[in-house]
Amino acid sequence: MKIGFVGLGNMGAPMAANLAKAGHAVSGYDAAGVTAEGVAPAATLAEAVTGIEAVITMLPNGDIVRAVHADIVRQAQAGALLIDCSTVDVDSARAAHDMAREAGLLSLDAPVSGGTGGAAAGTLTFMVGGSDAAFAKGKPLFDIMGQKAVHCGEAGAGQAAKICNNMILGISMIGVCEAFHLADKLGLDRQAMFDVASTSSGSCWSINTYCPAPGIGPKSPADNDYKPGFAADLMLKDLNLSQTAAETAGATTELGRHARDIYAAFVESGGGKGRDFSAILDKLAKQ
């Protein structure tokens, strides 16, 4: 398949490279001029998407998604599939779908979970919104870039699933970090804390798979001085999206709001900028 990939950052570049390794003809465009292994560099957005069967975007925010899709739909050939893998607000995702539909194109919103490691290894999880026909066309590409693709519903459903999932993640990571902090204050050994919580009712992804305590459990960013696997800045972005969605939908998400406020303070004045989102524990330990 001829594929155009727009946005070759930390996530987009390895995703595009995996498609190229699988034998697809991939052209890539990034406003910063970066490239990806095996991907033919395009000088312009138009060059990357003209005559292409599928266009995949991985972009920073909803405003950029809207602007880029407005350009793409003017260049893409009839019947092409547009897959937006960015994490953005639901309204922007639906706006991108509307532009595609009006241009006679298939479209999917397909944000991902798995971080840069999952992007490189091809083990991402895709949360996908769009029609059955669009999902069927995109599924072989998801199978190359990831290990699982869940069709969550119609336009915007992928973003809704991502926002809800990451709200759970933000809340649970704070809870795990506070539990380790309390264990420290009570003189409880961290390994003992892990051995109990990871195999009992405290079990969750934030402790079992991504433990914030260095040297405890499977290897995680905590073992690499909290260099980001998933940056605190990105968690704050996702929690902001969850609260915008909650306000729009009239949903009560008190813990989601509190988690957003904690990460905002951590990123903006608590030394969390540029660190992994699990470094909340390091901040608490130094208090």
Element (H, E) at 193: helix 190-197
**Domain around 246:** 160-285
Task: Give yes or no: residues 175 and 85 share one domain.
Answer: no
- Give the active site residue among 137, 162, 237, 283: 162
Task: Give yes or no: residues 110 and 23 share one domain.
Answer: yes
Q: Looking at residues 15-41, what average pLDDT do you find? A: 96
For residue 258, pLDDT over 90 is answered with yes
Q: What is the pTM of this model?
A: 0.91
CATH of the domain at 43: 3.40.50.720
For residue 287, pLDDT over 90 is answered with no
80: phi then psi, degrees, rounded to nearest 5? -65, 155
pLDDT on residue 270: 86
Task: Give yes or no: residues 14 and 126 share one domain.
Answer: yes
| Nearest CA among 1, 2, 241, 207 for reference residue 109 | 241
Give the confidence band of 116 by pLDDT, cuts at 50, 70, 90: confident
For residue 275, pLDDT over 90 is answered with yes
Can 21 be counted among the known catalytic residues? no
Task: Give yes or no: residues 110 and 192 share one domain.
Answer: no
Compute the distance between CA of residue 277 and CA of residue 126 in angstroms, rounded to an integer: 21
pLDDT on residue 85: 98
For residue 114, pLDDT over 90 is answered with no
As a dihedral over the C-alpha atoms of residue 232, residue 276, residue 208, residue 191, rounded to 10 degrees, the angle is: -120
Domain end: 124, 154, 184, which one?
Answer: 154
Give the confidence band of 31 by pLDDT, cuts at 50, 70, 90: very high
Task: Give yes or no: residues 166 and 212 share one domain.
Answer: yes
Give the confidence band of 79 by pLDDT, cuts at 50, 70, 90: very high
Contacts of 44 (CB under 8 A, 6+ apart): 29
For residue 194, pLDDT over 90 is answered with yes
Domain count, the chain: 2
Let me know: does 272 contact 245? Beta carbons within 8 Å: no
Q: At what angle do helices 157-185 and 254-269 cross, to 10 degrees?
A: 70
Task: Give yes or no: residues 208 and 189 share one domain.
Answer: yes
Query: What's the whole-number average pLDDT of the chain?
Result: 96
pLDDT on residue 117: 86
Domain end: 154, 184, 212, which one?
Answer: 154
